[in-house]
């Protein structure tokens, strides 16, 4: 995944390692061990939102060099996440039939949906 200003590339691996590389992969800029399989990640200008297989949502702040687990709410594996920059919202979907919409600044739940007869697997936003 290319950073928004094309000044770095993000790789996320099944072994839980999140890496930031120079655009030509010649230099490793930063590395974080999330301690779990990474299912997805999304980049805005200064932060990377990371979705872990254990249902966690973490935030890597590139300016402050901090990595914090900010969410442990799904009761089953989280399948996808989507960061919507214009609305400053993060949406997560899980095998627990829940869809959560989060305020990206406070990471508080704004809305919660239950899909009683279905399980959402992917998200997209415009």
Domains detected in the chain: 37-114 (2.40.10.480)
Say what the pLDDT of residue 57 is: 84
Looking from the CA of 29 toward its CB, the CA atoms found within 13 Å total 17
- What SS3 class is residue 75? coil
Say what the pLDDT of residue 3 is: 61
Looking from the CA of 98 toward its CB, the CA atoms found within 13 Å total 16
Distances from the Cα of 22 to the Cα of 11, 49, 66, angstroms:
11, 19, 19
pLDDT in tens, 59-118: 898 888 888 887 777 878 888 888 888 888 989 888 889 899 988 888 788 998 898 888
Percent of the chain topping pLDDT 70: 94
The mean pLDDT value of the chain amounts to 86
Maximum Cα–Cα distance across the chain: 48
pLDDT at 40 over 70: yes
Say what the pLDDT of residue 52 is: 87
- Element spanning 43, H or E: strand 38-43
Q: How far is Cα of residue 72 from the mean position of the Cα atoms in its chain?
A: 13
């Amino acid at each position: 995944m290319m950073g928004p200003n094309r000044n770095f590339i993000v790789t996320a691996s099944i072994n839980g390692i999140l890496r930031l590389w120079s655009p030509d992969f010649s230099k490793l800029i930063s590395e974080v061990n999330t301690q779990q399989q990474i299912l997805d990640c999304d980049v805005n200008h200064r932060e990377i939102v990371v979705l872990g297989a254990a249902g966690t949502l973490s935030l890597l702040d590139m300016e402050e060099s901090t990595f914090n687990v900010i969410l442990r709410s799904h009761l089953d594996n989280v399948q996808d996440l989507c960061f919507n920059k214009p609305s400053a919202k993060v949406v997560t979907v899980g095998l627990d039939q829940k869809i959560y919409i989060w305020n990206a600044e406070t990471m508080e739940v704004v809305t919660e949906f239950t899909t009683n007869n279905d399980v959402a697997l992917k998200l997209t936003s415009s």
